[in-house]
Amino acid sequence: MSFEKFNFDQKIVAGIEACGYKTPTPIQAQAIPEVINGRDIMGLAQTGTGKTAAFVLPILQKLIQGPRRRVRAVIVAPTRELAEQIHDNISELGRQTGLRSVAVYGGVSKFGQLKMFKSGVEIVVACPGRLLDHLDSRDLDLSGVEMLVLDEADMMFDMGFMPAIKRLLKYLPQKRQNLLFSATMPNEIRHLADSILKDPARFQINHSRPTALVSHKLYRVEKAGKPALLKQVIQDKTVSTALVFTRTKHVAKKLALNLEKDGHRAVALQGNMSQNKRKEAMDGFRGGRFNIMVATDIAARGIDVSGISHVINYDVPATVEAYTHRIGRTGRADRTGEAFTFATSEDRLIVRQIEQTIGARMIVQDQVVNGQTEVRSRPSMPVADGDRAGRPAGKGGAKTAGISSAKKGRNGGGGGHSPRNGGPGKATNKPRRQRSAPLGVDFFTQPRRSGAKTGGDRA
């Protein structure tokens, strides 16, 4: 299947060819005809599946005919980076159409945005807060809007934008085409979709599972060992371009500075940075000036950089959905990628949930010594929740390494009685203070076979 099937205007075809697009992705193949036909859309697709072009191309096709110099389409995105990315896609694909767009977001002066409004634009790509500022000030008229796109709707909910979205809807005409795209579908987004979409065409493209082109590897390390482990990992020659995720802005900034001091071309992307600094970081990462970007989840939304070889979860994400979003930054455009996850003993549950989502065990990387990685793999999926070591769940079942022995000592089962537990005489088996597993010590309790190939090796 090729883009010729959609019968795009030749000016749009020229943009497609200039961007090097050859074959539509599944979400593009399904969504584009329905959007052109005027249907509302509910699209569920993982990051990196090409959903931006799935709505940009038909928008250009529909707007190429009709009035100019008035806003006819509004695209709402959760972050400044994503808004800029969509705006750039419109500019590239629609270069010969004469259609103009503007990216609208906070953190920068309103002057440039006001100037674009006055000169006349057909498409507004905006973050909710700044867009409402303009609407409340009557800087912008949306009465002629024909199409509304809500992109990354689940992220907008996570960032608290739902009240702003509901306010925005009041500025739009009732008769319009609505397109809603999301990587996940929490109940709140489902309710929003039900309230604004009319008889939508629904598409679901593996929205909960990362692309099969990414291999998933697990490093077992405690917090204190993470900085040293990261430095070891990124010295590997295969790590050409890496996106490193942390939970907090502080850690992202500190980690990037430390990597830079060690001679790496690293840069941070986090919410406390000014818009100019964020843009400088993104342009530097995209252009190759930096090959390592350390970012938080929210700041990284909208990063569309081709050729990212590795995603490194320096901190394990809080949810499986966040893992899917992170991993979507590599393995794009039919390229392979690798995802490294630094997991502590406290991350067992979320790691298990991630593995259930990807349908395989992660390949466990035990340690890095002199640039060589020793690999040990866990048994392939599925494994029952209670059967982590081949034993029944419950009493006598699998327990976390380093915990069962401690409980045994406290209960006097080790051959002696501790005075602390009321037993007579000197304690012979008083348990030592337990520590969480350092790098190379397994806190996942199933048996190991060095070099064993499992379902996780093929992930």
| pLDDT confidence of residue 47 | 65
Which range (31-35, 164-168, 194-198, 368-372) has the least confidence? 368-372
Sign of CA dihedral 48, 51, 56, 58: positive
Rounded to two decimals, what is the model's pTM?
Answer: 0.62
Q: What is the pLDDT of residue 423?
A: 44
Residue 263, phi-psi category: left (phi > 0), alpha (psi -120 to 50), beta (remainder): left
DSSP assignment of 371-421 equals: TEEEEEEPPPSP--TT-TTSS-SSTTS---TTTHHHHHHHTTTTSS--GGG
Q: Biggest alpha carbon distance in the chain?
A: 94
pLDDT at 255 over 90: yes
143-157, 248-262, 427-441, range with the lowest pLDDT = 427-441
pLDDT of 185 reads: 79
Give yes or no for a contact between 297 and 322, defined as CB atoms under 8 angstroms apart.
Answer: yes
pLDDT, the chain, mean: 79
Selection from 69, 70, 93, 83 nearest residue 19 by Cα:
93
Which part of the chain has CATH 3.40.50.300?
3-205, 214-384+441-458
For residue 418, pLDDT beyond 90: no
Contacts of 454 (CB under 8 A, 6+ apart): 360, 361, 377, 378, 379, 380
Q: For residue 215, what are the β-bridge partners? A: 338
Q: What is the distance between the alpha carbons of residues 163 and 143, in angstroms, rounded to a whole number?
A: 20
> What's the confidence (pLDDT) of residue 299?
64
Would you state the pLDDT for residue 130? 96
Q: Give the 3-state secondary structure of residue 283.
A: helix
Tell me the mean pLDDT in the region 280-291. Answer: 90
* Residue pLDDT, tens place only, 43-72: 987 666 788 999 999 999 999 999 999 999
Q: What kind of fold does domain 3-205 have according to CATH?
A: Rossmann fold (3.40.50)
Distances (CA, A) of 203 to 26, 302, 324, 329: 9, 21, 18, 21
pLDDT computed for residue 106 by the predictor = 92
Please name the fold of domain 214-384+441-458. Answer: Rossmann fold (3.40.50)
Those residues whose C-beta lies under 8 Å from the C-beta of residue 347, and which sit 6 or more positions away, are: 316
* Per-residue tokens: 351: 């790691």
Count helices and strands (H / E) in the chain: 16, 16
Checking if the pLDDT of 454 tops 70, the result is no
